[in-house]
Structure formats: C-alpha cells, structure tokens
Structure 1
Amino acid sequence: MSENENAVANGAEQAGAVGQVAIQKIYVRDSSFEVPNAPMIFQEQGQPNIQLNIGQKVQQLAEAVFEVVLTVTVTCKIADKTAYLAEVQQAGIFSVSGFDQPSTHAVLNTFCPSNLYPFARQAICELTVNGGFPPFLLQPLNFDQMYADQMRRRETAGNA
C-alpha cells in the first residue's frame, strides 16, 4: 500500500470510531383518552384552551441499549370544563455506542425523542378524532434547541 492509501485507510478506521445509533424498536407503551364531561361537552360553545405537556424518561436496559419514553399529554378545556385529556407514552429501544458520556446524554435527549415524536403526534391526532373532536395536530418541535436550553438553565442554576 502506498502512503496515501495508508492515510485513507487510517482515516476510515478513525471515522468508523464515530458513535453509532440504531433504532431497535418503536412502540406505544401506554395511551389513554378521556372525555370526562361527555356527552354534554359536545354542546359547549367557546374557544378551546389547549395545554400541552411533554416529558421523557430514559432507562438503560443493557450496555449501550436504552429505552426512551416520550410522554405527550394534551388537555383541552372549553369554558373551564375538560373536553378531553389525551396522553401517549411513545417508546423506543435504541442502541447507542461509540460516544462519550456527554454525547450519549445528548443523543438520548435529542435524536431519540425526535424520532419518537412523529409517532406520538400521529397517535394524539387519531385519539382526538376517534374521540369525536377535530384532529389536534401537534406542531413540530426542535428537541436540539430544547436540550440546549435545558443545559443552559442547568449551568446557570449550578453557577448560582
């Protein structure tokens, strides 16, 4: 092998050392839909008030294997009465290897929920339609920005 070929081969080996993420499975861990004031709520007039809560939980299942659960809760109220409550726990099992600890943390909190969110979004939409309400379409979220903001707040709180 020439020197150039050796340099390319060494560069390829080093590039292969870059971290890898693989999606093993995506599934609905739990979902619920409640219409506590049915059927009277369908007669209510007024502008709906929507509250959206998003959370996530990460659990290590094995070495370099993690379950990430993204919880999306939507509460809709009309005239101070709950019209519906929809909640989906969208989960995935991810293999995450070749990263240092901070990078693994970032991948689990950005890449993984970004991949789960479209499934949760679809599930929420289907639940609301099947519950007799207009489809509720969650807006896209930037999990990278949310993670950066969270890390900034932690750093600020740690310095205070």
Structure 2
Amino acid sequence: MADEQQVNGAAQDDAPQQQAFQIQRVYVKDVSFEAPNSPAVFRQEWKPELSLDLNVNNTKLEDNTYEVVLKITATNKVNGEVAFLAEVHQAGIFTIADSLEDGQRAHLLGAFCPNILFPYARETLSSLVSRATFPQLNLAPVNFDAVFAQHIQRQQQEAAEATQQ
C-alpha cells in the first residue's frame, strides 16, 4: 500500500506542465520560380552572380499562437541577365507561453523560429533550382541570432536618434 502511494505521488509530480514553446506545424506558404531568359541562359558560360534576400515576419493568430514566415528570395544573374528568380515562403505555427518575457518571446519569434524553418526553406529552394536543371544551389547556414541582435541594435540606435532630435 505504501508503494502505491509513492507511485501515485510520483505520477502527480510528473503531471504535464505548460510548455513554454511548441511547434504546431511547419509548411510551405508560397513558392515561386522564374527563368525569364531560358533557353538562352543555358547556352551561356555559367558564371553566376547570386543575391539572396531574407525576411522574417510573424503574426499573432490567437492567444499564445503565432505564425512565423521566413521568406527567401534567390536571384541568380549570368552576364547581367536574370538566369532564375526563386522565392520560398516557409511558415510555421508556434505556441509560446504567456509566462515568457517580451524579450524572450521576441527572440523566439525573430531568431529561434527562423532557425527551425531555414532547413525546410533551403531544401525547397534547392529542389526548385535543381528541377529547373540549373546547377545545384546550396545555401550556407544563417546565424539568425546574430541577425536578430543586429536588428535590435538598429532599433535602439534609431530610438536614441529620434529622442535626440
């Protein structure tokens, strides 16, 4: 009988607590691919000029639930002409507990969630480029923590400049 009470007591101690962060869903929200100068671009020597644009947006869906969208646009030019333009909007729905401070929530939405989404977006982008028979596109990892820190620093500088005027 004493053993039963300990087991029941342990079960109560192990009761699920509210998780501070959960991934609800990861999905592709939008995909676009253009090769405006094909087939002529396939006949040129491949000396690509790649430019990447990354953007992160988040929207509060309901209490504690957010959609985060990582947008990656890759534009590749050869001899000044666009070889291809590929864009992926990789999204996720995340639950973030109210118990977190605003700074922690902002870091999760601006850095942690994009880190989760990036490998999916990178794979989708690579697949699009390969299916169009262009040479494989392998994006290097992105340090979203550093990008987020720069964003916060830039906001603080702008706020400080606004108060000085």
Shorter-chain TM-score range: 0.7 to 0.9
Q: Deviations for 1:53-80, whole angstroms, at most 9, x for unmatched residues?
A: 0001101111000000000000000001
Tell me, yes or no, if the aligned pair for 1:21 and 1:95 is still in contact at 8 Å.
yes
The whole-number CA distance in structure 2 between the counterparts of 1:17 and 1:57 is 29
The whole-number CA distance in structure 2 between the counterparts of 1:17 and 1:92 is 23
Unaligned runs of 5+ in 1: 1-12
Secondary structure in 1 aligned to 2:133? coil
The whole-number CA distance in structure 2 between the counterparts of 1:91 and 1:132 is 26
**Alignment partner, residue 21 of structure 2:** 21
The whole-number CA distance in structure 2 between the counterparts of 1:19 and 1:102 is 18
Tell me, yes or no, if the aligned pair for 1:72 and 1:89 is still in contact at 8 Å.
yes
Counterpart residue identity of residue 158, structure 1: A
- Percent of matched pairs sharing the same residue: 34
Tell me, yes or no, if the aligned pair for 1:86 and 1:128 is still in contact at 8 Å.
yes
Corresponding position: 1:107 with 2:108: yes
Deviation for aligned residue 1:100: 1.4
Deviation for aligned residue 1:45: 1.8
TM-score w.r.t. length of structure 2? 0.84
Deviation for aligned residue 1:47: 1.5
The whole-number CA distance in structure 1 between the counterparts of 2:160 and 2:18 is 32
Equivalent runs, 1:114-153 vs 2, <5 Å: 114-153=115-154
**Alignment partner, residue 67 of structure 1:** 67
Q: Deviations for 1:34-93, whole angstroms, at most 9, x for unmatched residues?
A: 100111110112521001000011011110000000000000000011000000000000
Tell me, yes or no, if the aligned pair for 1:19 and 1:99 is still in contact at 8 Å.
no
Unaligned runs of 5+ in 2: 1-12
Aligned-CA RMSD value: 1.7
**Alignment partner, residue 9 of structure 2:** none
Divergent runs of 4+, >3 A: 16-19
Count of residue pairs brought into register by the alignment = 146
Cα separation, partners in 2 of 1:106 and 1:17, compared to 1, 3 Å: farther
**Alignment partner, residue 77 of structure 1:** 77
The whole-number CA distance in structure 2 between the counterparts of 1:78 and 1:64 is 46
**Alignment partner, residue 86 of structure 2:** 86
